[in-house]
Amino acid sequence: MFNALVVEKAEDGSTSASVQRLDDSRLPEGDVTVAVEYSTVNYKDGLCLTTGGGLVRTWPHVPGIDFAGVVETSSDPRYAPGDRVVLTGWRVGEVHWGGYAQKARVRADWLVPLPEGLTTRAAMAVGTAGFTAMLAVMALEDHGLKPGQGPVLVTGAAGGVGSVATAILAHLGYEVAAVTGRPETEPYLRDLGATQIVPRETINETVKRPLEAETWAGCVDAVGGAMLARVLGQMKYGTSVAAVGLAGGAALPATVVPFLLRGVNLLGIDSVMRPYDDRVRAWGRIARDLPMDKLEAMIQPATLGDLPALGPAILKGQVKGRVVVDVN
C-alpha cells in the first residue's frame, strides 16, 4: 500500500483532490517501479490538479509531471533496485499516473539516471521548470550566446523557469535582466544573480513599433503573448530568444520585422518529448552550472496534503521559485 494524491471527477464535471491509500495493483503498466522521494509543482501540474486542462484523459488520476526517487523493481536491464532516477515529461502526470505518490510505475525509456552530486530533493527543486530553463540556456549558447555580449532577459523571472534560468545564467557569468510583475521579489531575484529588474508593466504592452533600441543579447521567455512580441523588437542584431512558456498568453501579436532586419532567432523549447541524449546532457549541465545554495533559496517545501491548494496558486502566478513536495 502507498499514499497518493488522487484527483477524481464528479458527474457534474467538477474535480476534487485528496490523499488516498492505494494498493500496488492500482499502479499503471510499466517496466520500472520507483519509490518516489520527491516531486514538485509546475504550471502544468496546476492544470492537472484542478480542471485537468485538457491534459488529463481519465479519472481517478494521480498528477505530478516530475518525480525523483530510487528504483524498487525493474524488468529493464538499464535499471536495478537502488538506482537513483529522475523523470520529467513524456506526458507522465497527464495521461499516465505521475509523481504525486509514494510509488510510480513507468517505462524505462522515460527515466534518466540522476547525475552524481544531485540529490533527489535537488532534482525536484529543478524539476521540469528548471530542466527546461537549462535547455533554453543551452539553445541560446548553441546559437552563439556568450558572456560579455550584453544583458540576457529572463521573463516571468520569479516563477520556476525564470528563477532557475536567472541562477544558471548569472553563475555562467551573464548579466541578467529579470522581468517580474511582483516588485516584492526584487531581493530574491538579486540574490539569484539578477543585476537589473525590469517591471512587467514596462514591457508587456502591445507592439507599437516593430523595432526598438537593441537592448538584449538573449532571452529566456516563460511568458509568451504580448511580452514576447515586444521583446523580439528589442533584441540585439543576430541574437536569439528561447520561447519556453505562455504564462502571459499563447497568442504572438508580433511582426516579422525583427527576423528580417535584425536576424533575430526565435528558438522553440520543448522539454516533454526531448530525446534521451539531450536529457542526460542537460541534467549533467544542471549538476555543474546551477549553484546549490541558489537552488536552496528557491525551495518552498510541501507535502501531498498541500497540493490541492498549490494547484490553483500556481495557475494564478502566486508561487515563487520552486515547490519541493516530500511525498513521504
Binding site for ligand NDP (CB under 6 A): 42-44, 128-129, 132, 156-162, 180-182, 185, 200, 204, 222-223, 227, 244-248, 269-272, 314, 317, 319
Cβ-based nearer residue to ligand NDP, 64 or 160: 160
Answer for the pair 258, 233: CB distance below 8 angstroms, yes or no: yes
Answer for the pair 193, 169: CB distance below 8 angstroms, yes or no: yes
Nearest distance from C-beta of residue 316 to ligand NDP, angstroms: 8
Nearest distance from C-beta of residue 281 to ligand NDP, angstroms: 16
Q: In whole angstroms, what is the distance from residue 300 CA to residue 50 CA?
A: 20
Cβ-based nearer residue to ligand NDP, 14 or 195: 195
Which residue lies nearest ligand NDP, judged by its C-beta? 159
Cβ-based nearer residue to ligand NDP, 84 or 322: 322
DSSP characters over 167-210: HHHHHTT--EEEEES-GGGHHHHHHHT-SEEEEGGGT-SPPSSS
What residues pair up with 324 in beta bridges, in sequence order? Answer: 40, 301
Nearest distance from C-beta of residue 83 to ligand NDP, angstroms: 25
Cβ-based nearer residue to ligand NDP, 120 or 180: 180
Nearest distance from C-beta of residue 188 to ligand NDP, angstroms: 10
Cβ-based nearer residue to ligand NDP, 22 or 244: 244
Q: Is 150 left (phi over 0), alpha (psi -120 to 50) or beta?
A: left
- HEC string for 258-317: HHHHHCCEEEECCCCCCCHHHHHHHHHHHHHHCCHHHHHHHEEEEEHHHHHHHHHHHHCC
Nearest distance from C-beta of residue 123 to ligand NDP, angstroms: 15
